[in-house]
Amino acid sequence: MTEETAGRGAVPVAVLEYLAGQIVDDPAAIRVEVEEGHGGVTLRLHVAPDDMGKVIGKRGRVAQSIRTLVRAAGAREGIGVTVDIVD
C-alpha cells in the first residue's frame, strides 16, 4: 500500500489490491488510483491488458463480486466506495 492510500479508504484499497492480486497472472501490473469526492471514494483499478477478462469475468460477475466486497470493506469504515475497472 502506498502513502497515497494510507489515509481514508485504506482498507477498501487493500481489499481491492488483494482480490485483484489473487485473480490476475501479473500482480505487478496492478495499480489502484484513489479519488476522494463528496459521495465517498472512487477506486480505479488498472491491470495488465491480458488480465482484463479475468477481472471482469463472464457477464461481469467477477467484477460485480469485487465491487460488492470492496463496498462492504468501505462500509465498515463508514465510507461509500465505488470501484471502476479501467482499460
Range of the domain at 24: 3-86
Number of structural domains found in the chain: 1
pLDDT for the residue 81: 96
pLDDT at 2: 43
> Residue 1: what pLDDT?
44
pLDDT confidence of residue 9: 82
Vertex 71 angle, CA 17 and 8, to 5°:
70
> In tens digits, what is the pLDDT along the chain, a chain of 87 residues?
444 445 678 999 999 999 999 999 999 999 999 999 888 999 999 999 999 999 999 999 999 999 999 999 999 999 999 999 998
CATH number at residue 56: 3.30.300.20
